[in-house]
Amino acid sequence: MSNFGHRFDDYSRAELESELDFVLGAAETVKRFVRNTTDPKAIDLLVEKEADERYGRGPESVRETILTSPVTPFETKQEILQRDADDLGTIRVPDRVEHNARTALQVGKPVVLYGPTGTGKTHFAKQLLAEAGEGRDLQLTDDVNIVCTMNMSDRTVNELDDAITRRFAMIELRGYEEADRRKLYDDWLDAEPVFEGETTVGSIDPTPESGFTPGREQLIDLFETHHAGINEGATTDEDTPITEFGPMHYRDVIQFVGVACGDDGAYATRHARAVGEAFATYVTPRLLNTAALPQIERLADHYQTLDEEFPAFDLGPAVELVERQAETERRGIAGGVYE
């Protein structure tokens, strides 16, 4: 018979070992043990048995009870949080950004990651904090690490006061070198079952509208040409950038196409269309969100050029979206003038 009625604060690690199956048998029993035990080594044993993962996550979970217990050793909390960092994947931001951010945290300086949308600021911030973060309780001590992000193009973000900026390490996350972008694309493509291990866009059959399956390299070429046109103006009449845009947005395109072109996907027989719909759903609206009419008109030229240069993909949805937005903006300006 189990010792359910015993006081868990009397349990040492050795005594827990004799009742381990009973304690691990239910989430509430584990939480009651953690709340009442006074032996850090006993909690270490629970974490060794991955009790923090067994019953899921959430505000009232076993994991949070262990993280917020004053008995749990700091190193044990770090071990739990390191699992979060592992779940977030390999850090892919440029080395300079990673080195500067880590150094700033080591010297106790709060960090602001700033730059164009889609450069991976939020994901990198989560990776940093998963590695360096004190449990859920927030205590304002010298050990607190703060990592912030902001998009320079956001209309709601004003220039920061010098009183704020001088208290933060301001680390710019801007462009990625071509090799770094390629690593991102390959990782994302390999992570999707439809694309994994294939030299073409997944194991999907040729699309009826294009007559052949777009190759993996063609998809990457599309991303690179799109990226160059936005950031350098390479696909428009003007040899200047339209705006700044990071590569992280293309992950959404890959995930969308991977699902949509699967056996039961919405575009299982219309793969070329899936690519255009992915751009119109995830990428183009983000560009239009902060664009003025001159930028929108250049975006229209940009997408028209892409649609012509990449016949394997149907970018019509993105082209139509930009042209509708341009017409709306023109009507708004004309109305204001004549009224």
Reported as a single tens digit per residue, the pLDDT across 283-316 is: 999 999 889 999 999 999 999 999 999 988 999 9
35 assigned to some structural domain: yes
Q: Does any domain span residue 321?
A: yes
Shared-domain flag, residues 229 and 312: yes
Clarify whether residues 268 and 313 are in a common domain: yes
- 123 and 218 part of one domain: no
Residue given tokens 């070992």 in the structure block: 17
Point out the domain boundary residue: 172, 199, 214: 172
Q: How much is the average pLDDT of 150-175? A: 73
Considering the domain boundaries, does residue 3 fall inside one? Answer: no
Same domain, 227 and 138: no
Give a yes or no: residue 163 inside a domain: yes
Residues 20 and 75 in one domain: yes
pTM over 0.85? The answer is: no
pLDDT, position 249: 93
φ/ψ bin of 111: left (φ > 0), alpha (ψ from -120 to 50), beta (otherwise)? beta
Domain around 187: 178-338
What digits encode the pLDDT tens for the residues 113-147? 888 888 889 888 888 887 766 745 445 566 778 88
Domain count, the chain: 3
Give yes or no: residues 129 and 149 share one domain: yes
Domain match, 213 and 284 both: yes
Residues 150 and 20 in one domain: no
